[in-house]
Amino acid sequence: MPEMQTGSGRILWLDAQKGVFILLVILGHVIQTTFPQDFHTQHLWCFTSSFRMPAFMALSGWIAYKPVQKRKLGLKDSIIRRARQLMFPYIVWSLLKFAVGGCYTLELLQGIILNPSGFYWYLWALFWIYVLYRCVQSLAAAIRCNETIVIGAVALFLLAAMTMLHTKLFGFDVIAYFFFYFFIGDCIRKYSKQFDKVFDPRSTRGRIILGVLTLYFVVAACY
């Protein structure tokens, strides 16, 4: 996909995509608030929840990927940068929510780290997904192995561990689940030319794939 940029260097379609996903997340929360008892039976909620967060994580993976020659920051510096962008606001907003919540129990305070399932869970999950992603990239470089293979193997291992362990400790379930979509986003940008050919609607293969995706979203909306 062509990367149309503004004068400041921002990619127009990327900003538009992020805006759409943010609006879908807001819509999801509106539906949950309006129908607190049976929001999961609302077709619109089922439809948007079937893809909004996976797509958001895939988009994050797309943004995170950089060719080796363009990786200006080392592992430590890149993690520190992401900590400032993601972990710092997660801790600050979680503590503020705790402070004004009116229920000051040790369990709630510990839950910020031990069970990060509140409003800001995606900041926690995205940070640790990025940390794992960069560490695996460094490992692949150290052992001189194709990083796509190594990252893909880790993604599959995490999915298997998630299904066997059934634990939410430290947000492991969402980290393991969404790392896979982050990896997909990485692959889409890394192999963009190949993906463009596969999803070309002018080809029979592309029409079949797009048809299957359309069917998936229809079923998700009606589930």
User: Is residue 114 within 8 Å of 94, Cβ to Cβ?
Assistant: no
SS3 11: strand
- DSSP string covering 172-219: HHHHHHHHHHHHHHHHHHHTHHHHHHHT-TTSHHHHHHHHHHHHHHHH
Which pLDDT band holds residue 218 (cuts at 50, 70, 90)?
low
User: Is residue 151 within 8 Å of 137, Cβ to Cβ?
Assistant: yes
Q: What percent of the chain has pLDDT over 90?
A: 43
17-28: burial string, b at 16+ Cβ within 10 Å, e else:
eeeebeebbeeb
pTM of the predicted structure, to 2 decimals? 0.85
What span, in angstroms and rounded, lies between the C-alpha atoms of 190 and 64? 11
User: Is residue 169 within 8 Å of 114, Cβ to Cβ?
Assistant: yes
- DSSP string covering 113-145: HH---STTHHHHHHHHHHHHHHHHHHHHHHTT-
pLDDT of residue 187: 92
Q: Specify which residues 11 forms β-bridges with.
A: 5
pLDDT tens for residues 135-174?
999 999 999 999 999 999 999 999 999 999 999 999 999 9
Q: Kindly report the average pLDDT of the chain as a whole number.
A: 85
pLDDT tens for residues 84-104?
999 999 999 999 988 988 788
Segment 50-73 shows an average pLDDT of: 85
Q: Which residue would you say has higher pLDDT here, 38 or 70? A: 38
